[in-house]
Amino acid sequence: MTVLLETIGYSNWILHALVWLPVLGVAVVLGTEERKAKTVAFWCSVIVLGLSLGLWWAFDPTISGFQMESTATWIEAWGVNYSLGIDGISLFMVMLTTFSTSLAILGSFNYIRVRERAFYALMLLLEAGVVGVFVATDVFLFYVFFEITLIPMYFIVGVWGGERRIYAAIKFFLYTAFGSLLMLVGILYLFYQTKNILGFPSFAYGDFLGISLTEVEQLWLFAAFALAFSIKVPVFPLHTWLPDAHVEAPTPGSVILAAVLLKMGTYGFVRFLLPLFPLAAQHPVIVATMLMLGLIGIIYTALVAAVQPDAKKLVAYTSVAHMGFVVLGVFALNVNGLQGGLIVMISHGLSTGALFLLLGMLYERRHTRTIEEFGGIARVAPWFATAFVITALASIGVPGTSGFIGEFLALLGTFESHPVIAIFATLGVIFAAYYMLPMVQSVFFNELETPENREVKDLTGREITILAPLCALMIWIGWNPTPFLDRMELSVRAVIERVESAASTPQAFGETTGVYQPEEAD
Amino acid sequence: MQLDFTQPLDYWWALLPEIILCVFGMIVLIAGVTRSSLEEEDGDPSFSHGAHLGWLALVGVLLAGIANGWLYGVQEVGDTSMIAVDGFRLFANWIFLVAAALTILISFAYVHRQRLQAGEFYSLILLASAGMMFMGGARDLIVIFLGLEVMSIAVYALTAFNRHDRKSAEAGLKYFLLGAFSTGFFLYGIALVYGASGSTNITVIGSSVSEGLASPGLLSVAIALLVIGFGFKVSAVPFHMWTPDVYEGAPAPVTAFMSASVKAAGFVALLRVFLVAFDASYATWYPIMWWLAAITMVGANLMALVQSNVKRMLAYSSIAHGGYLLVAVTAANQSAAAGLLFYLLIYTLMNIGAFAVLIGVARHSEEHMRVEDYSGFGWSRPVLGVVLTIFLLSLAGFPGTGGFIGKIYLLQGAADAELWYLSVILVLTTLISYWYYLRVAWFMWMKDSEAQDQHDLVQAPLPMQLALLATVAFILYTGFFPGVTIDLVNDSVHGLGNISELVPGFME
């Protein structure tokens, strides 16, 4: 496989293809007939998915930095480059994106009945934007992709969403934009310092890493970046946009939102917060704050989720809880924690994506999402129930599923650095069972009372095609996480080492990178 | 070719674009009175009698553009002539010419259906543009004043042009009274500058101020008066009171023209006066500009939030954009000046573009201006809907559009001067602006039409299509490939005094 990929020069063009093929797909979809749009869009996304699978083999786990890099000048006067690259942190995010987009598109065939062309075009545009976020190695480019993803999502929620769709769409938009605009000022500050220190303008991620900042500067910049990413994640108490957006969004919108858009926030934590501002990232107050927010997120949202009458809202809240584990893992500031966080990100993408798809399928059959109205579905739709139970277990984090590996590692990492918080966070796993299992029970088991529930049909071939790979992956990662962990390890280690080296010798750190210590600004 | 301005003839060459515009303004005027433009009741607005005058005016703009391009090959000797022949002026001229051409293109349908006097209408646009070009090129306060008056008087007339509409007359009167009042401040400011420095020439004032020859007390008062005068023209808060009413009352194409190029002319002249003449007294005017920028951004964006009339919303939005541009004036450095030119160009395009769609939606009268009139507009007229969405996103400063690059440029200028608080205010007020721009977008795409045939009468004749195509193409082009334009504006500000020597980071 590796040889085959080499002969076609795979690593030279793949990242560009992953960004631009969906854009091409947008044009193709807009050019087709309304009723064929979904098929065309699906095959576009499958081609992208197929191409992205090659990354699994082409990726070299012995390199810690970016690989498959390529750079072209974009805006010369500002030192902005169109440069792409991938490392162990972004690898799985990219694959998760292409994977969930295909499944989300396939899962929306029956759900989206109006304005199909526009819908599928926006889905592909969203895919391009999200892949771009994960592979951009120029901060300006990253920001452009980060912001561009807002537009398709805004329209997906606002046009095809539920009753309160406009409210949810605008809330989503303004919340996220608020954070990213402040981050923009932070980026420009970094740019300004880079220009002064290096003597030439540059937005390159590598150059931003090369300048040394004082602790005060780092704290301010950390705040600006952390706010942007925390809103995106979302970290408690900035999560209030999420339940609205999830509930109002059409199924494929929820899937993409949960599976990949939230990951842009946690990815930002790992990619920017820790390496760029190592002194701030391990400032005791900041670590304590972030860990506490993660912990509160896990426990509070678990309790809130438990009382939701609406199944979709319940799942939406579980997202916040899962992301809490990621925050814990990241701010444990050790290899285990960070790897655990990344696995939780993947696992959450798979399980929550699958849950939203399943709920969408249930909604198509029964036109309700209220938990109480269901009951005994397992008797009439056993395969449906099987898929749902596997997914729910993965979401809870039962051993043998991907959720377990991620949460275990994240908790292990947290325990190494902050045992007390880890002990409390472990309760969160129990809480997950507390909200998820009753829901599964009352929807699928209990008595089959209402006549509508007797009519529920089992999974169709198309739906099995969607759910089978998701369930298989959840179990595969659960039993055999090593190939995933191996590919992440060096990149994760590099991030942790960078943070630790800044801690031990803050002064020497500036000297080793060979740059001049800037004067205090402002 | 070299111009040393010792002979009067050299001024003729230096002023070629302005002269061409004035000549064409008169030709169009005369051509307009020879035949009645009211004889054709119906017919295609693109090629009726009034339209011929419009095309004629466009030829004038094109010729002026060619002359402006030719001036790039001309060298001037010294920098104390009354008219500058530098990149700054020539780039500003592009903005004015583009704005004039686009305004004429989007006016065809409007002039036709409102039965306006086409000859006078187009000729006033040309004359106003010539006035703006004088302001952009002037190196003497008196010439700036002349340009200001030529422009203002033409625009007063344009504002009140629609005689069938009371609001238009009211707007014209209001604009005239307040405009005349502000001109008084401006003129008094010039007089005091002359008193303080002994000259009206910007370069001479600049050197006398930097050598400390000018009386500082008198100069401070003069600067304050000039700020008020310019503040009115660029409608900075708190001198913006006239703007919403005038913008709402004026004929829609005129509003587009005013909000784009009158503002541009004000800013171009403001930048040259403050950066060249008052360079050395930066400490005096820096705090004034800082507060003016902050108040304008915050105030205008907050007021725009509550507007339900799209035309009025765009009026407040244009004040807000003035606030962003004032940040560049406050920063007063190379990248800020370049950013200001870049932003003015993009702003002109996106604003006129948005107004063009608004004129189409407004149909036969000025009635369909509520945001509800846009319900379901996107789905019934997808092309116009997408185009308007792009303009709105660009006005909001979203990536992929020229508006984003422009805003980054302004922020870079602010960063180079270490104006971090002002940058934060800029981005937070941008966030506010998302709300009102997106509101139009959500009515367009997320609500259903109020009636089945609501958007059947929306008009977009050929000239307007041309204008929309050009503006959208350029906004996307600069959004994705801004390099060429950035290099051009960067070169354009080189001749503008010695601004790079300014002390950056003048305290916050």
- Tens of pLDDT, residue by residue over B260-279, are 889 999 999 999 899 888 88
Residue B36: predicted pLDDT: 56
Residue B42: predicted pLDDT: 57
Q: Do B486 and A170 lie within an 8 Å CB cutoff?
A: no
Q: Do A159 and B416 lie within an 8 Å CB cutoff?
A: no
Range A406-432 average pLDDT:
88
Minimum CA–CA partner of A165 in chain B: B446
Could you give the C-alpha distances from B223 to A331, B147, B192, B285, B334, in angstroms and in order? 54, 19, 9, 7, 22
Residue B143: predicted pLDDT: 92
pLDDT tens string B368-420: 778 888 888 888 888 888 999 999 999 998 888 999 999 999 999 998 888 88
Name which of A165, A169, A185 is nearest B423 (Cβ-Cβ).
A185
pLDDT at A506 over 80: no
Worst-scoring range by mean pLDDT, A301-305, A414-418, A493-497, B50-54?
B50-54
pLDDT tens string A305-343: 888 888 888 888 888 888 889 999 999 888 889 999 999
ipTM of this complex > 0.85? yes
A356, part of any domain: yes
Spatial CA neighbour of A318 closest among A258, A370, A267, A372: A258
What tokens appear for A237 in the block? 């108490």
Average pLDDT for chain A? 86
- Tell me if chain A has a CB within 8 Å of the CB of B393: yes
pLDDT at B306 over 50: yes
A463, part of any domain: yes
Range A225-231 average pLDDT:
91
Task: Point out which residues pair with A84 in neighbouring strands.
Answer: A70, A136
Q: Do residues A165 and A121 touch, judged by C-beta distance below 8 A?
A: no
What tokens appear for A428 in the block? 């969160």
What tokens appear for A303 in the block? 């309790």
- Tell me if chain A has a CB within 8 Å of the CB of B418: yes
Spatial CA neighbour of A319 closest among A303, A302, A343: A302
pLDDT tens string A257-290: 888 889 999 999 999 988 888 888 888 888 889 9
A163, part of any domain: no
Contacts of A173 in chain B (CB under 8 A): 434, 438
Cα dihedral: A125, B427, A281, A493 (round 10): 30
Share of chain A above pLDDT 90, in %: 19
Give the HSE-up count for residue B462: Cα atoms under 13 Å, Cβ half-sphere. Answer: 8
Banded model confidence at residue B41, pLDDT cuts 50, 70, 90: low
- The residue with greater pLDDT, B9 or B124, is B124
User: How close A307 comes to chain B (CA, Å)?
Assistant: 31
Interface list for B 471-500 with A (CB within 8 A): 482-483, 486-487, 490
A507, part of any domain: no
Spatial CA neighbour of A43 closest among A54, A56, A32: A32
Range B35-60 average pLDDT:
70
pLDDT tens string B471-482: 999 999 999 998
Name which of A75, A165, A173 is nearest B434 (Cβ-Cβ).
A173
A168, part of any domain: no
Average pLDDT for chain B? 86
User: How close A201 comes to chain B (CA, Å)?
Assistant: 11
A486, part of any domain: no
Banded model confidence at residue A380, pLDDT cuts 50, 70, 90: confident
The 10 Å Cβ neighbour count of residue B15 is: 21
Cα A287 versus chain centre, distance: 22
Q: Do A115 and B487 lie within an 8 Å CB cutoff?
A: no
- Tell me if chain A has a CB within 8 Å of the CB of B434: yes
Banded model confidence at residue A459, pLDDT cuts 50, 70, 90: confident
- Tell me if chain A has a CB within 8 Å of the CB of B54: no
SS3 A137: coil
Worst-scoring range by mean pLDDT, A298-302, A440-444, B112-116?
B112-116
User: How close B445 comes to chain A (CA, Å)?
Assistant: 7
Query: Which range marks the domain in which residue A411 is found?
Result: 282-479
Banded model confidence at residue A131, pLDDT cuts 50, 70, 90: very high
- The residue with greater pLDDT, B115 or B335, is B335
Range A415-431 average pLDDT:
86
Q: A506-513 contacts: CB < 8 A, separation 24 or more? A: A506/A215, A506/A279, A509/A212, A509/A278, A510/A212, A513/A209, A513/A210, A513/A212
Interface list for B 319-348 with A (CB within 8 A): none
Banded model confidence at residue B117, pLDDT cuts 50, 70, 90: confident
With a CB cutoff of 8 Å and minimum separation 6, the contacts of B231 are B182, B239, B292
SS3 B307: coil
pLDDT at A75 over 90: no
Contacts of A151 in chain B (CB under 8 A): 393, 398
Q: Give residue A278's region: left, alpha or beta (phi > 0; psi -120 to 50).
A: alpha
Residue B343: predicted pLDDT: 94
SS3 A370: strand
pLDDT at B507 over 50: no
Name which of A75, A185, A521 is nearest B486 (Cβ-Cβ).
A75
User: How close A466 comes to chain B (CA, Å)?
Assistant: 29
Contacts of B483 in chain A (CB under 8 A): 74-77
Contacts of A192 in chain B (CB under 8 A): 412, 415-416, 418
Contacts of B420 in chain A (CB under 8 A): 185, 189, 522
Q: Do B445 and A159 lie within an 8 Å CB cutoff?
A: yes
Residue A211: predicted pLDDT: 84
Q: List the alpha helices (DSSP H) in B234-309.
A: 242-249, 252-257, 263-272, 282-305
Residue A513: predicted pLDDT: 43
Residue B283: predicted pLDDT: 84
A488, part of any domain: no
Interface test with B, best of A82, A148, A170 (most B CBs within 10 A): A170
Worst-scoring range by mean pLDDT, A2-6, A121-125, A236-240, B229-233?
A2-6
- Tell me if chain A has a CB within 8 Å of the CB of B424: yes
Residue B211: predicted pLDDT: 85
Range A2-22 average pLDDT:
84
Q: Do residues A273 and A281 touch, judged by C-beta distance below 8 A?
A: yes
Interface test with A, best of B341, B374, B438, B476 (most A CBs within 10 A): B438
Name which of B398, B416, B438 is nearest A170 (Cβ-Cβ).
B438
Banded model confidence at residue B228, pLDDT cuts 50, 70, 90: very high
- The residue with greater pLDDT, A56 or B38, is A56
Torsion over CA: A155, A156, A160, A162 (sign): negative
Residue B21: predicted pLDDT: 92
Q: What's the number of domains chain A is made of? A: 1
A436, part of any domain: yes
Residue B501: predicted pLDDT: 45
Say what the pTM is. Answer: 0.91
Q: What is the 3-state secondary structure of A48-94? A: HHHHHHCHHHHCCCCCCCCEEEEEEEEEHHHCEEEEEEECHHHHHHH
pLDDT tens string B167-221: 888 888 999 999 888 999 999 999 999 988 888 888 888 888 888 888 888 889 9
The 10 Å Cβ neighbour count of residue A215 is: 14
Interface A-B: count of C-beta contacts within 8 A: 85
Q: What is the 3-state secondary structure of B445-507? A: HHCCCCCCCCCCCCCCCHHHHHHHHHHHHHHHHHHHCCHHHHHHHHHHCCCCCCHHHCCCCCC
Residues of A with CB under 8 A from a CB of B: 74-78, 115, 143-144, 147-148, 151, 154-155, 158-159, 165-166, 169-170, 173-174, 177-178, 181-182, 184-185, 188-189, 191-192, 521-522
Contacts of A174 in chain B (CB under 8 A): 431, 434-435
Q: Cα(B393)–Cα(B406) distance, rounded to whole angstroms?
A: 13
Q: Cα(B182)–Cα(B177) distance, rounded to whole angstroms?
A: 9
With a CB cutoff of 8 Å and minimum separation 6, the contacts of B94 are B65, B68, B345
- Tell me if chain A has a CB within 8 Å of the CB of B412: yes
Cα A381 versus chain centre, distance: 31
Dihedral pair phi/psi, residue A204, rounded to 5°? -65, 140
- The residue with greater pLDDT, B3 or B136, is B136
DSSP labels for B16-65? Answer: HHHHHHHHHHHHHHHHHHHS-TTS--SS-TTTSHHHHHHHHHHHHHHHHH
Name residue, tokens 């703006």: B132
Q: Cα(B496)–Cα(B306) distance, rounded to whole angstroms?
A: 40
Residue B13: predicted pLDDT: 85
pLDDT at B38 over 70: no
pLDDT at B244 over 60: yes
Minimum CA–CA partner of B438 in chain A: A170
Q: Do residues A246 and A254 touch, judged by C-beta distance below 8 A?
A: yes
Banded model confidence at residue B504, pLDDT cuts 50, 70, 90: very low
Residue A507: predicted pLDDT: 45
Range A5-34 average pLDDT:
86
Banded model confidence at residue B60, pLDDT cuts 50, 70, 90: very high
Residue B411: predicted pLDDT: 92
Q: Cα(A126)–Cα(A151) distance, rounded to whole angstroms?
A: 8
Contacts of A144 in chain B (CB under 8 A): 399-400, 404
Contacts of B505 in chain A (CB under 8 A): 521
Contacts of A154 in chain B (CB under 8 A): 438
User: Which class for A322: exposed (0-12), middle (13-18), buried (19 or more C-beta within 10 A)?
Assistant: buried
Range A473-496 average pLDDT:
89
Share of chain B above pLDDT 70, in %: 93
Minimum CA–CA partner of A162 in chain B: B446
Name which of A75, A177, A188 is nearest B423 (Cβ-Cβ).
A188
- The residue with greater pLDDT, B37 or A130, is A130
Residue A9: predicted pLDDT: 79
